[in-house]
Amino acid sequence: MPANIEIAEGLLSVCLRADHKPGKIQFTKYLYLLDYCHWRLTGQKATTLPWRFYHYGPWCEEAETCMATLASRYSFGWREEEAAIVRSVDVAMPSLGLTTKSTIMRIVDTFKDRDLNVLLDFAYSQTEPMATAKRGDVLDFSGIPVDRSMPEFLPKAAATPATYEVHPERKRKMEAFSTRAEALRQKAKERMAFRDSDAYQQALGLVTEELASYVKMPEMQGEMTLEAADGLGAD
């Protein structure tokens, strides 16, 4: 069985040959999915990495050690730009079993050009070890079905069912909303009908006549002498 560092090296080699330099989170989840898929195919993991439910998903310190070793061995940084590493770093493929190598290639090909959240969603919520674990637990792979097949990473959208049952509470709210909307529509119709009536038009005409008959008061102008101004307010 290849050592963990050899498998990590093989994973990095496949990534770079696919013009892809994953970040540390991606690389960690690739290793986890490799173990997950390998168990489905063979009944055992590809690595001996002791995965645990850490923060939000699968992680282990040994995987971090492998990545640090690779960065030192090939003189690159995991935070460097993808293009720079793809052009300058060359990692030979170590001797791995056919199942391990083909599984790595399938994982990388599926997720390398997709949003990171697609990878995280599958690793976090679509794998049995994570589904049954509590935060801090070592992940148990024994519940994974050994069905000799790769998982469907990106399942096809389910067909729309022929009939759809609305939840009773939601149905009640929808009916209440429809009743209220109909009442408002009816009130608007009544308001428009009143505005077209003879009584409304007659009242509107009276208001218009009232405003038109308003007579503007004349402006008052005058002058005050200095003597009169001085006398304002005098006893």
Report pLDDT digits (tens) over 217-227: 556 555 656 66
Residue 45: CB partners within 8 Å, gap ≥ 6? 35, 38, 39, 141
pLDDT of residue 186: 84
Asked if residues 91 and 16 have their Cβ atoms less than 8 Å apart, the reply is: yes
Dihedral angle sign, alpha carbons of residues 102, 131, 167, 178? negative
Count of CA atoms in the C-beta half-sphere (13 A) of 116:
9
pLDDT of residue 179: 87
Residues of the chain with pLDDT under 50: none
Domain range annotation of the chain: 4-143, 168-212
SS3 label, residue 52: strand
pLDDT of residue 183: 83
pLDDT of residue 178: 81
Distance CA 83, CA 163 (A): 50
pLDDT of residue 215: 54
Asked if residues 31 and 135 have their Cβ atoms less than 8 Å apart, the reply is: no
pLDDT of residue 157: 57
- In degrees rounded to 5, what are phi and psi of residue 175? -65, -40
